[in-house]
Amino acid sequence: MDPSNGVRRDLAYIRGLMEGNEQMEKRPESNVLKRMIQLLDAMAEEHDQLRLRLTELEDYVEAVDVDLNELELLLYEEDEETGWEEEEDIGFWEVHCPGCDESLLVDEEIFADGPEMDVLCPHCDKVVLVNDEGDVWEKGERARTGADLH
């Protein structure tokens, strides 16, 4: 049973007692009691609105959770043969900068077009990866890094 139904039922009962009692109308505190009933009625209405919004938000969060779960399944799909996540298909190389020792990810597609290219560290502007022969590396091959140049 919804608790607000009980509050509304009790408010209706008290309102009925006050309206049915002619002597209550003559008493000075009747105006205070009427106003308190109006206030409690407004609070019950606000409570109902908040309960409705909470229910809507719970439904929304549940839908977002389902969507996030589906996205996680797509992104972190496990290889059926090994049981390990497939990391080779990500398309990025992790490179450590010899200057500042920061780790950065380099998209392998930048070397797919062929021409000579240097990759600079965004932190210290040192060369961290060089493709000086226009080579296109396959996954697992080692490109020359800035550390190899010195």
What backbone phi and psi angles, to 5 degrees, belong to 128? Answer: -115, -20
The CA-to-CA distance between both ends of the chain, in Å, stands at: 76
Q: What pLDDT, in 10s, does the model give residues 74-86?
A: 888 765 445 555 5
Q: Return the amino acid letter for 120.
A: L
Contacts of 135 (CB under 8 A, 6+ apart): 111, 143
Measure the CA–CA gap between 135 and 96, rounded to whole angstroms.
21
The answer on pLDDT for 134 being more than 60 is: no
Pick from 133, 125, 131: nearest CA to 145: 131
* pTM, to two decimals: 0.44
Q: What pLDDT, in 10s, does the model give residues 23-69?
A: 888 888 888 988 999 999 999 999 999 999 999 999 999 999 999 99
Residue 22 has which token pair? 């002619």
Core vs surface per residue 45-69: b (16+ CB within 10 A) or e: eeeeeeeeeeeeeeeeeeeeeeeee
Pick from 4, 8, 3, 11: nearest CA to 37: 11
pLDDT band at residue 114 using 50, 70 and 90 as cut-offs: low
Answer with the residue of higher pLDDT: 50 or 90: 50
Where along the chain do its domains lie?
Answer: 3-75, 88-149
Quote the strand ranges of the chain, DSSP E: 92-96, 103-107, 117-120, 127-131, 144-145
Pick from 141, 131, 140: nearest CA to 111: 131
Residue 51 pLDDT: 95
The answer on pLDDT for 124 being more than 80 is: yes
Of 40-54, 92-106, 126-140, give the lowest mean pLDDT range.
Answer: 126-140
Helix (H, G, I), strand (E, B) or coil at 93: strand
Residue 45 pLDDT: 93
Compute the average pLDDT of residues 126-147. 56
